[in-house]
Structure 1
Amino acid sequence: MKSSEKIGRFNTPAKKTSNGVKTLAIITAAGKGKRMGSVIKKPYLILDGKPLLAHAIMPFEQSKAINGVIIVTAKGDEGFCLKNIVKRFGFKKVLKVIRGGKQRQDSVMSGIMAAGNGWDMVVVHDGVRPFVAKEAIEKVVKSAAQYGAATLAVPVKDTIKQVSCGFVKKTLPRDELWAIQTPQAFGFHTLKKAHVLAKKQGFIGTDDSILVERHGCKVAVVTGS
C-alpha cells in the first residue's frame, strides 16, 4: 500500500453528541531525557515546586474542552506517576496511566488503543512542555473539530538553510516556515487510522500531524507562543 493512498476519509470533522464533542488528551511522558544528563527523568524534574509533568497536565485538567486524560509513561514508572503526580496533585480527569513504547509514536498509539470507544477528538501533548495555556488547548481543539486536524505552532524567526555535504544547498523562505509545537488535535478515528497505517507501513514520524498529512489530511495551524 502506497503511503500517499487515501484510506477512508481523513479530514472528517468530529461528530457532536448530545453533550457536545467528547475529547481525550494523551500526554506522553515516556522519554528518558538522555540529552539533559540528569539522573531524574525529565518529566519529573521540579519547576516551581512541581514536576514538569504536573505543570503539563494542569491546563488539561482545567480546560472545559477536555473530558479525560491518559498519561503514557516509561516502563516501570506507572505506579510512581500515579502516586506522585496524579494522586498527589488531585488530577480528576486522568483516566489511566499506562506504559509507553520504544518510540514516542509507539507511546501515542498505546494511548489511543487504551482509550476505548466513544471519543470524538484526541489531543496529543508532550509531558515536558509545561507552559501551554488552556486557551491554546481550546483553540486547537476547536480548529481540529472544524477542519479535522490542528497543531499549535510559531513562525520561525531564524534563517533556515538546507545543507548537503557541508554546503548550503538552498535558503528556505522564512515566511513559510513554522516551528511545530504541541498540543496537536485530531478527529479520534482520523489519528487512530493514521497510526495503524504508519505501524503497518513501518513509517516513523517526528510528530503526529505528519501521520495524517501523508494521507492527504490538511492540518490547520494555530499560533502559539
Structure 2
Amino acid sequence: MKAFVLLASGEGRRTGFRKQFALLCGKPMFMHALEKALGLFDELILVLPPDAVESTPVPPGVKKVAGGKERQDSVYEALKVVNAELVVLHDAARPLTPRELFLRVTQLGPYDGLIAAARARDTIKEVENGRVVRTLDRSRVWHAQTPQAFKTEILLACHERARKEGFLATDDAALLERYGYEVGVLESSFWNFKVTYPEDLKVAELLLCGQPVSSARSNSGQPSSGGSSSGNSSR
C-alpha cells in the first residue's frame, strides 16, 4: 500500500497570506497537486492549518489532518494516521509537479527514501557574514524538492527519534541522512519549483493558465497570522 501526504498547513509568512489557498486557474493551489494524486494512492491525507480543517472541502476519500507548529510537526501528525508501507510527502506550494513524478518517486529501489531534486545551474558559494568562504563543486550540488518517498516505518522512527533529541530538519530526507539511512535522488527540473514569494505565484499562474494571477490573496481571504519560523514553510 502507498500513501500520499499533501502538506498544506503553512501560514505564509513570506507571501503574507496562506498561499496554499490562493486561487490558480479558479481553484485553490493545493488542489492542483491533490487532484493529480487521485487514483494513484491507497491513502490520501491533506494536512491543513487547524482552523481550516473543518471548512476546507476535499474530494471523497481524502483524510484531513491538523498540522503542527513546524513543518516537521505536521509531517509527524500525518504519519500517525498512515497505514501504508510507503508514504509520499509533497508540498502544496508545488502546483506544477507532473503526475508521473508521483509514480516514479515510489520506486525506491535499493534506498530507504527517494527524493525529487534538480541539478544546480548556478555557481554555488558558501557565505559567512557576507564574505565568500568557498565555492562548492556545482556537479555535486542538487536542489532538493518534493515529492519525497520513504518507507513509512523508517520515516516514523526517524521522526520520533528527532523529537526526543529536539532536532529540527528542513526536509524529511535530512532525518534519514542523520540516522544513517540511504536516500536516493530522482532527477526533476526547475519547473517543479516551490511558490515561496508573491512573484512565484504570478509565474505559476502564467504557466498553469496562461495569465497572471489577478490578486495575491488566499481563497479564504484571510491574511497570515503567525506560524512557522523554519526555512521550509510548506507544512
Residue 79, structure 1, aligned to residue 54, structure 2:
yes
Q: d(CA) in 1 for partners of 2:97 and 2:61?
A: 17
Residue 167, structure 1, aligned to residue 131, structure 2:
yes
Q: d(CA) in 1 for partners of 2:81 and 2:51?
A: 17
Residue 139, structure 1, aligned to residue 116, structure 2:
no
* TM-score after normalising by structure 2: 0.77
What's the offset of the Cα at 1:223? 0.8
* 2:66 aligned residue: 99
Unaligned runs of 5+ in 1: 1-21
Residue 222, structure 1, aligned to residue 186, structure 2:
yes
Residue 212, structure 1, aligned to residue 187, structure 2:
no
* 1:44 aligned residue: 21
1:57 to 17, 31, 34: 34
2:90 to 109, 125, 138: 125
Q: How does 1:8-47 map to 2 (within 5 A)?
A: 22-38=1-17, 41-47=18-24
* TM-score after normalising by structure 1: 0.81
What's the offset of the Cα at 1:214? 0.7
Q: d(CA) in 2 for partners of 1:163 and 1:32?
A: 29
- Cα distance 1:43–1:191, how it changes in 2: closer, same or farther (>3 A)? same
* 2:144 aligned residue: 180
What's the offset of the Cα at 1:62? 3.9
Q: d(CA) in 1 for partners of 2:156 and 2:44?
A: 16
Q: 1:130-165, CA deviations, whole angstroms, 9 ceiling, x for partnerless residues?
A: 1111211111101x2542210000001111111122
Q: d(CA) in 2 for partners of 1:25 and 1:111?
A: 10
* 2:42 aligned residue: 67
Residue 145 of structure 1 contacts residue 186 of structure 1 at CA under 8 Å; is this kept in 2?
no
Q: d(CA) in 2 for partners of 1:181 and 1:194?
A: 19
* 1:15 aligned residue: none
Which of structures 1 and 2 has the larger relative contact order (alpha carbons within 8 angstroms, sep 6+)? 2
Secondary structure of the corresponding residue to residue 69 of structure 2 = coil
* 2:213 aligned residue: none
Residue 148 of structure 1 contacts residue 186 of structure 1 at CA under 8 Å; is this kept in 2?
yes
* 1:16 aligned residue: none
* Cα-Cα RMSD: 1.2
What's the offset of the Cα at 1:68? 1.1
Identity across the alignment (%): 37
Runs of 4+ in structure 1 off by over 4 angstroms are none
Q: When the two structures are aligned, how many residues end up with a matched partner?
A: 189
